[in-house]
Structure 1
């Protein structure tokens, strides 16, 4: 499963708060914050990458703070390790 979506906080300051909260939460429980970095774009967007090995899920979050409408780009990736009973795998 690969699922991207976008979240728009009320302001750039709100996106800062959201990223700080995410950094804290993605370092608890089964979550491990794997990378925190600024990309090489003009705005040097903050990126967070975290994994949850127990649930086989990863998340990549990009803070687009310096846009007219600040937002967080969120992409979740999860593996499918077992086909449910009675279902068939579609191959592309």
Structure 2
């Protein structure tokens, strides 16, 4: 890391080595919009009714190469499907198993979570874009927590265009 100045950013020659790919230069808003669209397609692929949380995707630091969030960034979109009938969760997960490959996703995990309740979990990577998603059908939860389907969608690292600050987008 280059520890001069206020930011600790890996030198460009090291970024590819650390990440295993060269981050695409992309405007933050464009990357956030793409993740929001992908989340919408995932919701549609579930094929059940419910109310999705209303939090948009947001840029954050690409910790591996730029923990100070000055040049490189990722876009995260954690959201949940609420007020869905827990009896429909198996249908949603089965729909995802069958529909994700047709939407360009490769399923990397399909099985119970490593937790007390062993709720179903699907993890996948989008083949062409490198986005990752973890989808959990939380039928059983501790205390008074209501059932939900939890989704965490994360982009690969991007590089902000020259002269822009991804933390201020």
Q: What band does the TM-score fall into relative to the shorter chain?
A: 0.7 to 0.9
CA distance in 1, matches of 2:114, 2:163: 47
Query: Of 60, 76, 83, which residue of structure 1 is paired with 2:153?
Result: 76
**Deviation of 1:73 (Å):** 0.8
User: Larger Rg: 1 or 2?
Assistant: 2
TM-score when normalising by structure 1: 0.79
Alignment of 1:9-88 (within 5 A): 9-67=83-141, 69-84=146-161, 87-88=164-165
Higher relative contact order (CA 8 A, sep 6+): 1
**Structure 1: runs of 5+ lacking an equivalent:** none
CA offsets 1:14-59 (integer angstroms, 9 cap, x no match): 1111111111111224211111121232211111001113122111
Number of corresponding residues: 90
In structure 2, C-alpha distance between the alignment counterparts of 1:33 and 1:13, rounded to whole Å: 23
For residues 54 and 6 of structure 1, what CA distance do their matches in structure 2 show? 25
> Which structure shows the higher helix fraction?
2
Distance 1:38 1:85 in 2: 43
Greater percentage in strand:
1
Q: CA RMSD in A?
A: 2.0
Which runs of 5 or more structure 2 residues have no equivalent in the other structure? 1-74
What TM-score do you get using the length of structure 2 for normalisation?
Answer: 0.47
Q: Secondary structure at the match of 1:21?
A: helix
